[in-house]
Amino acid sequence: MVTIIIPVLNEAKTLASVIEFARRDGAVDEVIVVDDGSTDGSPEIARAVGAKVITSTLLGKGASMEDGMRAAQHDLLLYLDGDLHGLASDLVRRMITPLLQDEADFVKAKFQRSAGRVTTLTARPLLRTLFPELANFEQPLGGIIAARKSLLNQLNFENDYGVDVGLFLDAAVSGARLTEVDIGNLEHDSQSLDALSDMATQVTRVILERAALYGRLQTNFIREVREVERHMQVELSIVFQKIGKPEKLALFDMDGTLVDGRFVTELANHVGRTQDLHQFLDNPDMDADERTRQIARLFAGVPQSVFVEIARSVPLMPLASEVIVELRKAGYRVGIVSDSYFTATETVRRRVFADFSIANVMKFRDGKATGEVRLAPALIHPSGCQLHAHCKANVLRHVREKMHLNPEKVLAVGDGENDVCMLRDAGWSVAFQPKTKNVSAAAQIVALESLAEVINYVQANQSEPLSTI
């Protein structure tokens, strides 16, 4: 029997028809929809037509694909996208037949449509150069994939547009039997030029990383490319691209607000540097920027993978993701602003389904922290906060100036002294379980029990059509 997995983010218009289509084949015993924090009712639609719905553990298609794979009951899996239409009636059968007949372990779909620009201009040239044995595959980036769970369980799921080609390359190098199946005509929602640019960047990185991993490129070069790409993500221009043109903005602190605890404390505990951290943490006699640099030095030599591991495992505050999704439903762009590390905030952002994050950047070399930190440029403003050189309130100023947002369109939520200026400058503000009286005084209301009080506050004071959590 076969499990069909459909990663979903706001696919309400087409999702029901894709699920119903998938269930028509007699070999399909299970349909799993993996939701990435949809705000358009996609999960409810999926349940109504008989799919099993799970919530992704981390925002991004790759994480959703992996979560679906781990939840699947059967060894034969087929991935479909939730926005497909115009599907051939025997698509499922065509894709799974090579698996059922034990002729292949990994099946890619090809279809009668001009290849996308990213495929033609990016993927194919790189594959021809670095993986010539795969040059005959017409659509290496396609997301319609059938494979054995036993194989996928050994592969690395990237968590961006590079996931499909990454699985493809890993499967090939592992010695799995690969084939490509013609599924006829296919209609798929087109992407904007900006989205295609992001896709091309991520696909390029994944192909080059795999080339380096498998001895086809110098590893140091690839790591440098990735490090440069990571540093670019905290530039204001990139942040503004992620925000788009919002009508309303919500900014959340991370530690003690979205995360139940403090990331650097958890990291220090994990690597045995707790005592060293205590001499710097919340030291009122030390300049804040210098304290940030001293703390960063404590983690020199710690692998980047450990930073991600801790950020994925640290407990979230109850209802953190639900509150973020409700705000996004009401039209807010939601960001995390922290004086922690971007590697951590981006991981937490994906866990709670926020839109963007701003934080300091720990520098890595050869996959390990150097102990050097780059302070986030968005925390600096030439005419911003008069008390601090780097301040969360400056993020508010940048966004309001760029997006022409009035103060009443900005909500801020925080718990500590480093959130005070942001809370004071926002049109609407919540001190969540505040650490000091000063934090309580800076906000319009104090929430002591639950993050759900943020939703109640917005509902009561801004007349927003939000759900009760």
Predicted confidence at residue 219, as pLDDT, reads 66
The amino acid present at 37, given as its one-letter code, is G
Q: Is the pLDDT of residue 107 over 80?
A: yes
Helix axes 342-352, 304-313, angle to 10 degrees: 30
In a domain, 423, yes or no: yes
Q: Is the pLDDT of residue 466 over 80?
A: no
Q: Of 166, 192, 208, at which residue does a domain stop?
A: 208
CATH number for the domain harbouring residue 19: 3.90.550.10
Predicted confidence at residue 243, as pLDDT, reads 75
Band the pLDDT of 384: cuts 50, 70, 90. Answer: confident
* 195 shares its domain with 340: no
* 201 shares its domain with 239: no
Average pLDDT over residues 356-374: 92
The closest of 426, 454, 462, 460 to 317, measured between CA atoms, is 454
Alpha-carbon distance 47 to 292, whole Å?
47
Q: 127-151: b or e for each residue (b if 16 or more CB lie within 10 Å)?
A: beebbeebeebebbbbbbbbbbeeb
Average pLDDT over residues 386-393: 89
CATH number for the domain harbouring residue 430: 3.40.50.1000
Average pLDDT over residues 76-105: 92
Residue with tokens 């926005």: 83
In a domain, 221, yes or no: no
* 195 shares its domain with 266: no
Band the pLDDT of 101: cuts 50, 70, 90. Answer: very high
The more confidently predicted of residues 383 and 115 is: 383
Of all helices (H) and strands (E), which one includes residue 44?
Answer: helix 42-48
> Long-range contact list for 447-450, CB < 8 A, 24+ apart?
450/318, 450/319
In a domain, 272, yes or no: yes
* 280 shares its domain with 356: yes
Predicted confidence at residue 463, as pLDDT, reads 60
Predicted confidence at residue 185, as pLDDT, reads 74
Band the pLDDT of 130: cuts 50, 70, 90. Answer: confident
In a domain, 280, yes or no: yes
Predicted confidence at residue 222, as pLDDT, reads 63
What is the length of the chain? Answer: 469
Q: Of 173, 208, 243, at which residue does a domain stop?
A: 208
* 253 shares its domain with 376: yes
Q: Is the pLDDT of residue 459 over 70?
A: yes
Predicted confidence at residue 446, as pLDDT, reads 96
Q: How many domains does the chain have?
A: 2
* 190 shares its domain with 249: no
**Quick count: other Cβ atoms within 10 Å of Cβ 15?**
27
* 189 shares its domain with 315: no
* 79 shares its domain with 150: yes
Predicted confidence at residue 46, as pLDDT, reads 97
Weakest mean pLDDT among 210-219, 255-264, 325-334: 210-219
* 406 shares its domain with 308: yes
- pTM: predicted TM-score of the whole model, two decimal places: 0.78
List of residues 6+ apart from 334 with CB closer than 8 A: 249, 250, 251, 252, 324, 327, 328, 354, 355
pLDDT in tens, 24-34: 999 999 999 99
* 298 shares its domain with 422: yes
* 260 shares its domain with 148: no
Q: Is the pLDDT of residue 415 over 60?
A: yes
In a domain, 225, yes or no: no
Decide: helix, strand or coil at residue 34. Answer: strand
Q: Is the pLDDT of residue 435 over 60?
A: yes
Rounded mean pLDDT of the chain? 90
Q: Is the pLDDT of residue 359 over 80?
A: yes
Predicted confidence at residue 113, as pLDDT, reads 58
Residue 320: give the domain boundaries.
235-462
* 403 shares its domain with 455: yes
Predicted confidence at residue 188, as pLDDT, reads 59
pLDDT in tens, 281-330: 867 777 888 889 999 999 999 999 999 999 999 999 999 999 999 999 99
Q: How far is CA 325 from the centre of its chain?
A: 14
In a domain, 93, yes or no: yes
Q: Is the pLDDT of residue 468 over 80?
A: no
